[in-house]
Amino acid sequence: MKLPALLVLLIGLVFILSCSTEKKETPEDVKAPTPEKVAKELTGNRIDNYYWMKLSDEQKNAEQRDEQTQKVVDYLNAENDYLKTKLKHTEGLQKKVYDEIIGRIKQTDESVPYKDNGYWYYTRYEQGQEYPIYCRKQGTLEGAEEILLNVNDMAKGHDYYSITGLSVSEDNNLLAYAEDSVSRRRYTVYVKDLRTGKLVEEPVPNTEGQVTWANDNKTYFYTKKDSTTLRSRWIIKHKVGSSYKNDPIVSEEKDETFYTGIYKTKSKKFLVIWAGSTLTNHYQILDANSPDGKFKEFTPRERGLEYSIDHYGDKFYVVTNLEAQNFRLMETPDSKTAKTNWKEKIAHRKDTLLQGIEIFKDYLVLSERARGNTLMRIIEQKTNNKHYLNFGEPAYTIYPSINIDFDTDLLRYGYTSLTTPNSTYDYNMKTKERKLLKQTEVVGGYNPEEYQTERLWATADDGTQIPMSVVYKKGIKKDGSNPTLIYGYGSYGASMDPTFSITRLSLLDRGFVYAIAHIRGGQEMGRQWYEDGKMFKKKNTFTDFIDCSEFLIEEKFTSPEKLFASGGSAGGLLMGAVVNIRPDLYKGVIAKVPFVDVVTTMEDESIPLTTGEFDEWGNPKNPESYMYMLEYSPYDQVVPQNYPNMLVTTGFHDSQVQYWEPAKWVAKLRELKTDNNTLLLRTNMETGHGGTTGRFKVYEEIAQEFAFMLDLAGIKE
């Protein structure tokens, strides 16, 4: 039956109209993943609905994935898909930021060479290549280049690839290095004959990645990991050409709260086995010319005694907290190293932390810390004359570089600040002249005079003054309208020093203020600063960060509608605690590889890093410690309330903060939060705690994080 032409036209018109009015799905319509809830009761009658997300190494790496493994992987992939959809409208901005960042990097570049045992060593990069090329030249820098390792060739076929621990034998013929292609920080050691370019023996698996050569050119020592906890546990001796399966154990660290390793002194006279926990250090020494001898204890292990040792001439120098909270310098004959023989060389100072020393024939160089800044003090050994290096900036970072020679007047050091790119100097300690050897080039031009850095002080609730390092582009108005990113860490005594960042320019040039909150838990203000931010004083870390955030608002740098916060690992715990306490302060938060399930993790001694951190967080077997940790544990303290926009990141192979902590945290936040703000989880399925490898690939993730903030701040270009 043939339809009239008019009727056909009407039917077609209805079809077209129905198609044109059909609603297309937008990112706002996309539903977030809703993982299954399976109640599991934990200690203290705690119920964890997402405990099932925890997988063992064996489950993650199994070729035949079981049902649970597949369920976890499917959930993480669903979250990645959700993130991609929610941020799809920012892809153009991500690309623009990424291109900006890599456009500032000098692609063909080379490190400052240093001389060691007759060779000049340096690292260089080639145009478009992701990985370094390790090189050396014999005698002079005009000599022929010898490529030790071209990591670009080695990394082919790997999603993740890391080389570490390059170490050359004393006769310059053998190169030991370590490889990790999983991102679990379980390194395999290889030895390459530099005369032939060939590997000389079977690789040694499951190591810490550092190799120390004895002086006989055929013996090296390495540190073997515990396969379950990944704790560095055994010091092993190896003879080149033999099977590692027959290698003898030289030392075993049986205390599960300690880690261990081995190195050779700068004098090359001693091999040193170290063992350390949060509060205690211990050393054993052996003549490096006699690797088959027996290591001798430096001084008996004593809980609470922290120290480090350096050797020169016929004595050891000892930096220690012995009756000195901020550490002092001692010395002792290398034939009588027990604590009873230590004699004071530089006294303790209440207002200055002694972090370490660099020894020269005629000089001592002290690395110190006071009032939030790193310091470098030079002492002439014969006259005891001393002076500090001066830099003329309110907030900066200085550190010793590679100083191999004893008999020299030249000190090589590195310097940087929030406005000064990383710089390497040679400083003549006698004439006080300094020479700039290299400053990181910012391709396309960079003028530090366009930016302003400040050292500010926020007042905590208890009256403590908290230092902050701040940078912004000159010309901004302090009217509360500036988008601002505040960063913090505050754990392990690790100080977050102000350094230059090529990536940060993409924020500063768009009007962002950037602030580092030097909160308690680091050592920016000395050792007490650390003591006041751990164990039963851990909450100071969180309230300090909040006080710094409020200070930026009070001083009209920004407002809660323009303030962003970021932290990673233990700094991710900081982010988790802060958003539970004061979610109203922030427009957005980026929590990277966050340690958020504190109590459950610290109860599981099979997890890497747990036992070694009882003196940092507390042992949950202690009821008082359990209750204190529970009071701030971000995962346990998620409650029904509004939370800021959040981007949470993790790596599937993370050995330090296992992926399931942030994954569970995001699931619980989704379940309980009462707002419509964005909550995203990004899991890199190929990497671990440190993120992706490669010189440029890493910036894709940074560009995404920046775009997340810029979009929320209303900046679209």
So which residues are the catalytic ones? 569, 654, 689
For tokens 């480090």, the residue is 308
Q: How far apart are alpha carbons 191 and 174 in whole angstroms?
A: 7
Residue 230's closest CA among 658, 694, 650, 664? 658
Check the CA dihedral 264-267-270-274 and report its sign.
negative
DSSP for residue 298: S
> 538 pairs with which residues across the strands?
none
- Run of H or E residues at 386: strand 386-388
Contacts of 143 (CB under 8 A, 6+ apart): 120, 137
Residue 648's closest CA among 30, 32, 29? 32
Residue 147's closest CA among 176, 124, 129? 124
Asked if 170 and 177 touch (Cβ cutoff 8 Å), the reply is: no
Asked if 515 and 567 touch (Cβ cutoff 8 Å), the reply is: no
- 642 dihedral zone (left: phi>0; alpha: psi -120 to 50; beta): beta
3-state secondary structure of 580: helix
Residue 525's closest CA among 389, 373, 376, 394? 373
Angle at 385 between CA 381 and CA 386, to 5 degrees: 100
CA dihedral 73, 75, 81, 86 (to 10 degrees): -150
Q: How far apart are alpha carbons 35 and 683 in whole angstroms?
A: 15
Strands (E), 35-161: 40-42, 46-48, 109-110, 114-116, 119-125, 133-138, 145-150
Q: How far apart are alpha carbons 505 and 512 in whole angstroms?
A: 9
Q: How far apart are alpha carbons 102 and 703 in whole angstroms?
A: 10
Q: C-alpha 142: how far from its chain's center?
A: 36
Contacts of 204 (CB under 8 A, 6+ apart): 188, 189, 222, 238, 244, 247
Q: How far apart are alpha carbons 432 and 471 in whole angstroms?
A: 30
Give the residue ranges of DSSP H helices in 474-633. 505-508, 527-531, 539-554, 570-581, 598-603, 614-617, 623-632
Q: How far apart are alpha carbons 566 and 485 in whole angstroms?
A: 7
Residue 223's closest CA among 187, 193, 255, 277? 187
Asked if 131 and 152 touch (Cβ cutoff 8 Å), the reply is: yes
Q: How far apart are alpha carbons 681 and 78 in whole angstroms?
A: 10
